[in-house]
Amino acid sequence: MHLSQVELTRLVEGKESSPHRFLGLHLLPQGGYMVRALLPDAISCELMMEGENKGIPMKKIHSLGIFEAEIKSKSVFRYQFKATYREKITHLLEDPYRFLPTLSESDLFLIGKGDDHKVYHKLGSHLATIDGVKGVRFAVWAPSARRVSLVGNHNFWNGRTHPMRLLGASGIWEIFIPGLTAGACYKYEILGPADETPFLKTDPCALSFEPPPHHAAVVCDLSTFDWQDSEWMKKRCLQPSHQQPVSIYEVHLGSWRRVPEDNNRSLNYKELGTQLAEYCNRLGFTHVELMPPTEHPFDGSWGYQVTGFYAPTHRFGSPLDFMTLVDTLHRANIGVIMDWVPAHFPKDTFALAQFDGTYLYEHADPRLGEHQDWGTLIFNYGRHEVRGFLVGSALSWLDLFHIDGLRVDAVASMLYLDYSRKHGEWLPNEHGGRENLAAIEFLKQTNALVHLYHPGAITIAEESTSYPGVTKPIAEGGLNFDYKWNMGWMHDSLNYFKEDPLYRKYHHNKLTFGMLYHWSEAFIQSFSHDEVVHGKGSLMGKMGGGDFHHKAANLRCLLALQWAWPGKKSLFMGCEFGQVAEWSHSSSLDWHLLQYPLHEGIQKLVADLNALYQKDKTIAERDFDSPGFNWVHADDGDQSVLIFERHGYDCSWVVVGNFTPVERTYRFGVPCLGKWEEAINTDSSYYAGKGSGNLGGVVSEKIAAHGRSQSIEVCLPGLSVVIFRQKTKV
């Protein structure tokens, strides 16, 4: 097999899509074999056949560094190249072009259908041993490219050295590079369909990246990590989270704590694991939710403009260090949820945007493919390979990194084609509607596969509209999320507490309205980072009326109401101790505030609320069971008093809120006779309140009130929530 001038020119000019046809070992029609090498900048080359001490000189057929030798052999043989470069430097090299493809026909078929659920084991870079030779195999999807080359430190970033082969009509390019090891940096040099000049792209499926401005992918070996969390992983599967207390601490890794003695640096993954585990256990949180730990170029995006959908960000350590963080939290019985962002991606030229010179991951039409609010691009969910890429991303975090759940960002923007668009700026679906049908099917598939492959793992939707059935099963027409953030309850509650107590009686319905729709979804009551940025101020700063002591009292009320309300709980870092300043991603939380009783008191209250929530597990078990909740008195807006019951299978709570500074003596009905323990009183001096209360509890009397045959008369401190508790059978 001799090269024609056209074939030689295509190799030399870097326009050959199947270099393995000409390079490597090939049988000649007349018998024997042709061996051809591509070794740019090599002066000479010898063919070293296995078992032979003397090399066979190879003919240089082009100045670029193309060598060939015809070998009269009756059978296939193993060989290496002995290449000589300037100053007579010689290297003994394995030939990348003598190896068969590392992906099978079935692999290509499933990837093309979007049905290879572990595509991250196929695409990207992977350490491998092939034919006894150690190296790294690479594969990337770029169907419209005319040529893709692997470039990196190993070949001096020369795109002529290692052109990859296109595997049929799959659009996947592949190569095995002998001798490469973990830590090697690389990119893909791509010649697009209409380009004369190649461009560089980093690997969409890489597990690790160099920091900006390089953004090179890094070959990574996760197999060396020794997981110690088997007990946690087994326990996670035993009981559905719906029946367990779920109290989530939302964290931005770069600003939770910093080290001022070390140039104000952020904690690394290992430090974060140790300190978060201790802190969450002390305060009683069951889970940590990490704002996107995925790789991203711009700190100010907080991780929500992702360029590495499979990779933990380099900012706090290596992927192995990230695994240490998760493992440490698991061994401390803390679950790990991560924010996952399949709604959009940034336009950075080194990443996914126009990856192969065409609109590949995104839509070509900006009415479908661009987020006007965020300046980002929308995934083309209708393309099988794109859907498979995103599904693979979701599953990889649960599989490789033992993540326990995904909080899916910006779901509303995925569901609707007209999201934040004016008339004429969007295209309807095939039925003329506004729903993004491909995105809806993608979300259903992702949730189904997460639950199939990872029992006990949860998915949470950040979804702000009234789209029906977000947490309903697919069989019932739902999206099959486990939970949905309760954005309506959050906005209503904050708007109520922003009011001066003098005027709250006119807004009492904001506290009660949420119960009209509460049972329609499995809600998480959440106060997130979105409420403490962009000029919105801190949670403490939002509280209406009075001086700083009144604001602290209001915040204690708000947090107690959140924990007492049906549904799971989520709280952004800093809110648990009354951070005063608005959150900044570039500086630490104001931990020094804990030296002041008002802030320490809020933190103590959160710890006690979590302790009560976990102590009375059957209350949590009925978070989504409507008979587990009853109104006692929902209509006393004139006095801004709200009373409701929570029932577990072995205990009951009666929750009373007094949202004015006026202390009251108040009688209300209770479901059972006996003593009602004052389990939580937000006005306790222990929480830096005024210390009014009921001396630990009240005994009910046979005096009818609020439809109950017995009642209690209590002291309701001003600006307080009191939870009365009784162990009982309901």
pLDDT tens-place string over residues 515-550: 999 999 999 999 999 999 999 999 999 999 889 999
Amino acid at 707: G
**CB-CB contact of 254 with 301 (8 Å):** no
Q: Which residues contact 616 (CB under 8 A, 6 or more apart)?
A: 648, 650, 651, 653, 725
**CB-CB contact of 388 with 446 (8 Å):** no
Report pLDDT digits (tens) over 107-161. 999 999 999 999 999 999 999 999 999 999 999 999 999 999 999 999 999 999 9
Q: How far is Cα 331 from Cα 281, in angstroms, rounded to an integer?
A: 11
Q: Where are the beta strands (DSSP E) in 86-171?
A: 90-93, 124-130, 133-141, 147-152, 165-166
**CB-CB contact of 651 with 616 (8 Å):** yes
Amino acid at 144: S
Q: Does domain 5-98 have CATH number 2.60.40.10?
A: yes
Q: What is the CATH code for 618-727? A: 2.60.40.1180
Give the residue among 229, 228, 186 at the shortest CA–CA distance from 207: 186
Residue 189 catalytic? no
- Of the candidates 409, 576, 623, 645, the residue annotated as catalytic is 409
Amino acid at 243: Q
N residues, the chain: 730
Backbone phi, then psi, for 432, in 5-degree steps?
Answer: 85, 5
For the cut 80, the answer to whether the pLDDT of residue 267 exceeds it is yes
For the cut 60, the answer to whether the pLDDT of residue 730 exceeds it is no
Report pLDDT digits (tens) over 676-717. 999 999 999 999 999 999 999 999 999 999 999 999 999 999
Q: How far is Cα 206 from Cα 101, in angstroms, rounded to an integer?
A: 20
* 431-443 average pLDDT score: 97
Question: For tokens 């009492």, what's the residue?
Answer: 508
> Token pair for residue 620?
């949590």
pLDDT of residue 178: 97
User: Which is it for strands 185-191 and 376-377: parallel, antiparallel or unpaired?
Assistant: unpaired
> Token pair for residue 137?
């195999």
Q: How far is Cα 333 from Cα 379, in angstroms, rounded to an integer?
A: 36
> Token pair for residue 480?
């099959």
Give the residue among 122, 223, 126, 208 at the shortest CA–CA distance from 170: 122
> Token pair for residue 326?
């998760």
Q: Which residues contact 57 (CB under 8 A, 6 or more apart)?
A: 44, 45, 46, 47, 69
Instruction: Tell me whether residue 654 is exposed, middle or buried, using C-beta atoms within 10 angstroms of its C-beta: 0 to 12, 13 to 18, 19 or more.
Output: buried
Give the residue among 469, 473, 484 at the shortest CA–CA distance from 407: 484
Quick one: pLDDT band at residue 729, thresholds 50, 70, 90?
Answer: low
Q: How far is Cα 387 from Cα 673, in angstroms, rounded to an integer?
A: 58
pLDDT of residue 2: 76
Report pLDDT digits (tens) over 297-337. 999 999 999 999 999 999 999 999 999 999 999 999 999 99
Domain coordinates in residue numbering, the chain:
5-98, 105-218, 618-727
User: Residue 303 — left, alpha, or beta (φ > 0 → left; ψ -120 to 50 → alpha)?
Assistant: left
Same fold: 5-98 with 105-218? yes
Q: How far is Cα 325 from Cα 336, in angstroms, rounded to an integer?
A: 9
Residue 409 catalytic? yes
Looking at the whole model, is its pTM more than 0.85? yes
Give the residue among 40, 34, 32 at the shortest CA–CA distance from 21: 34
Q: Running DSSP on this structure, what letter comes out for residue 120?
A: G
* CATH H-level, domain 105-218: superfamily: Immunoglobulins (2.60.40.10)
**CB-CB contact of 379 with 361 (8 Å):** yes
Quick one: pLDDT band at residue 624, thresholds 50, 70, 90?
Answer: very high
**CB-CB contact of 80 with 92 (8 Å):** yes
- Of the candidates 46, 404, 462, 576, the residue annotated as catalytic is 462
List for the chain the helix, strand, coil content (%; round to 5). 30, 25, 45
Q: Running DSSP on this structure, what letter comes out for residue 37?
A: E
